Amino acid sequence: MPISHKDLWVKIKHESKGKSPRDELRLLEDYLSAWPEYKGPYQELRKKLERRVAELRRVGRVLASHSVSEDPFSVRKRGLAEVALVGLPNVGKTSVLAALTGAHAEIADYPYTTLTPNVGMFSFGGFEFEIVDLPPFPEGALEEVHYAAGLKEACLNATLLCIVANLEGDLELQLDTLRGQLEGMGADRPAMLIGTHADAAAPEMEGLRALSAGEPVFGFPFREGEERAVAEALCGLIGRIVVNARDPVSRKEPLAYAVPAGASVLDLTALIHKDLTKRARRARVWGPSSNFDGQEVGLDHVLSSGDTVEILTK
């Protein structure tokens, strides 16, 4: 009796675990060359493996395009900070990356889909963060994966670490595994947590918050407008606040800016445009730092998170 497609899938996943991209590619090509002719789920599984083979070949081209002195895990930092997404296999990190940045990357239910970092820019208003989707940590020893050294390099170089956990799995086990491995490589404690499958796991979200030890916690898929909360949380972790600047003439929708905590109106003008710093005379402020909405203030007025500011030049 032939092996069932489910057992065959388990067998392939087991044999693929820990292999280099080149060795895994050879393994899958061997399987596909002798693939059974059975229809239905066997052919669906074949399509899945063919997509995986295409991804492995792409990874091979990426690695081949780097010289000996270059490293695909060495990501040039851009934006206000580099945020590395870390998690166990198949927790949904790549989906989080796509939602925040729009970056196109392979998303599949195949373990270890991400073999080299995927990078995108999370833009919000007038600022942005670099989001790096790292290959997954193994459920066992870090040495099980061929890219362990690159993973360590990327985690140590990132400005912030964000754990992505699957709310349908064992949260405590996931966090203990990841924190233990991060601690073992000398990386800082994660600064933020995101729980995937949050739309069907409300009680588990509370469990994630209980285990978070004070880090900002978000559920994914993100609710409408929650990207701003993510942006504000990331800013807070690097000592910045988010304020809104509105053109007093056009009164268009205000644009968000990230200014250092304790920044003044004058500091904000420098971010908006260098010429505005010379022309600014005073401002109107709505929000926490004002005594009343629309209060006129001087350029030395200290801003608070959530303020909306109109810079006046006359």
Statement: residue 65 has pLDDT above 60: no
Domains of the chain: residue spans and CATH: 5-64 (no CATH), 82-237 (3.40.50.300), 240-312 (3.10.20.30)
Residue 66 in this model has a pLDDT that exceeds 70: no
- Average pLDDT of the chain is 85
DSSP code for 137: P
- pLDDT average, residue stretch 163-188: 91
8's enclosing H/E stretch is helix 5-16
Residue 111 has pLDDT above 50, yes or no: no
Q: Of the ranges 38-42, 64-68, 140-144, which one carries the lowest mean pLDDT score?
A: 64-68
What's the average model confidence in pLDDT over 93-113?
70
| Contact call for residues 181 and 149 (beta carbons, < 8 A) | no
Percent of the chain with pLDDT over 70: 89
Q: What is the DSSP letter of 153?
A: H
Residue 20 pLDDT level (bands cut at 50, 70, 90): low
CA distance 241 to 244: 10
Q: Which range, of 112-116, 186-190, 231-235, averages the lowest pLDDT?
A: 112-116
Q: Is the pLDDT of residue 203 over 70?
A: yes
Q: Measured between alpha carbons, how far is 129 from 46 in angstroms, rounded to an integer?
A: 38
Whether the per-residue pLDDT at 84 is higher than 90: the answer is: yes
Give me the pLDDT at residue 76, please.
75
Encode pLDDT of 228-254 as tens digits. 999 999 999 999 999 999 988 887 889
Q: In the predicted model, what is the mean pLDDT of residues 31-47?
A: 81
Q: What is the rounded CA–CA span in Å between residue 306 and residue 287?
A: 6
Write the CB contacts of 54 (distance below 8 Å, at least 6 apart in sequence). none
Q: What percent of the chain lies above the pLDDT cut of 90?
A: 46
Confidence of residue 22 (pLDDT cuts 50, 70, 90): confident
Judge whether residue 62 has pLDDT over 60: no
Write out pLDDT tens, residues 130-157: 999 998 998 888 887 778 888 898 999 9
* pLDDT tops 90 at residue 38: no
- Say how far apart CA 164 and CA 95 lie, in whole Å: 10
Q: Where are the alpha helices (DSSP H) in the chain?
A: 5-16, 21-33, 41-64, 93-101, 148-157, 171-184, 202-210, 226-237, 265-272, 274-279
Specify the higher pLDDT residue, 95 or 48: 95
pLDDT exceeds 80 at position 261: yes
pLDDT at 128 > cutoff 60: yes
Q: Is the pLDDT of residue 290 over 70?
A: yes
Least confident of 71-75, 164-168, 192-196, 225-229: 71-75
